[in-house]
Amino acid sequence: MKKILLSVVVLIGLLSAALSQDVNSQKKDPLGNWKFAAPYAPEGYQSGNIDVTTADNKLAASMSFDSMQYKFPAEKVRQANDSLFFSIYLEGQSVDVSLKLEDNAKMSGKAVYTEGSVPLTLSRINAEGTK
């Protein structure tokens, strides 16, 4: 009886360890529509959306601002581990964006341009348009 009980306890321990490792090893996915806030950015660039998609099996992204109707296409879009990197051109200069996926609903990072660095926080927008 003790052997059966010990076997069950060991089996439960192994199963829970395997499940927790599987949950922790899931890759965070940047694909989707993200609402961003950049409160320290220049006026007109403080909030908007970042859309991350795939095109021809490559990552693609665009950035739009709440104060404008135009979508700025991203260049050099790449993902490394849990980070996303891209560049956009605004007012004749390159802005380098680097983001870290905290989980599948949040990202944070910064936008670097000639005047300095601006912190960004992002929340995933689900298909219905809510956070």
* Domain-wise residue ranges, the chain: 32-125
Looking at per-residue pLDDT, the higher value among 119 and 20 belongs to 119
Question: What values do phi and psi take at 105, rounded to 5?
Answer: -120, -10
φ/ψ bin of 67: left (φ > 0), alpha (ψ from -120 to 50), beta (otherwise): alpha
What's the full length of the chain, in residues?
131
Instruction: Report the CATH fold assignment for 32-125.
Output: Lipocalin (2.40.128)
d(CA 100, CA 123): 12
Q: Would you say residue 130 has pLDDT above 70? A: no
pLDDT of residue 4: 53
Average pLDDT, the chain: 84
d(CA 36, CA 92): 22
Q: Band of the pLDDT at 5, cuts 50, 70, 90?
A: very low
